[in-house]
């Protein structure tokens, strides 16, 4: 008879130790403190295309800045664009001069020279 109470006490002691060791299976948790994590998030890479080629003259944003669609990210050096514009203006002037020559027709001197 004495053996039965000793066995019951031994089982209760083992259960108490197990409950203490495992934190009471979550029954005695202190308030929900939530989960707090620290770390870095990788930056998403985006392919960009430019309307014109050239050297970058100015970078308007820094790494980590928030941008939205339409924001200026970088400016291209305008020197190359000015050179191309001047070249296009010269081609227009040349084409207008040739058009004026064709509209005015042949001069008598040109006709005489062609016959000679």
When pLDDT is cut at 50, 70 and 90, the band that residue 116 belongs to is: confident
Q: Is residue 84 part of a domain?
A: yes
Q: Is residue 94 part of a domain?
A: yes
Give the separation between CA 1 and CA 53, rounded to whole angstroms: 98
Q: Which helix (H) or strand (E) holds 59?
A: strand 56-59
Mean pLDDT for the chain overall: 80
Q: Is residue 70 part of a domain?
A: no
* Residue 37 predicted with pLDDT over 60: yes
When pLDDT is cut at 50, 70 and 90, the band that residue 102 belongs to is: confident
Q: Is residue 96 part of a domain?
A: yes
Residues 6+ apart with CB under 8 A from 25: 19
Residue range 38-69, pLDDT digits in tens: 887 777 777 777 777 788 888 899 888 888 88
Q: Is residue 107 part of a domain?
A: yes
The domain containing residue 93 runs over which residues? 78-115
Number of domains in the chain: 1
Residues 6+ apart with CB under 8 A from 59: 73, 74
Note if the pTM is more than 0.75: no
């Amino acid at each position: 008879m004495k053996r039965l109470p000793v066995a019951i006490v031994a089982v209760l002691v083992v259960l108490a130790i197990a409950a203490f060791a495992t934190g009471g299976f979550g029954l005695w948790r202190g308030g929900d403190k939530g989960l707090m994590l620290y770390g870095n998030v990788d930056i998403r890479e985006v392919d960009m295309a430019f309307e014109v080629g050239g050297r970058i003259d100015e970078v308007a944003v820094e790494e980590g800045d928030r941008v939205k669609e339409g924001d200026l990210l970088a400016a291209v050096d305008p020197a190359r664009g000015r050179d191309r514009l001047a070249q296009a203006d010269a081609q227009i002037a040349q084409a207008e001069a040739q058009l004026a020559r064709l509209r005015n027709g042949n001069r008598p001197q040109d006709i005489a020279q062609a016959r000679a």
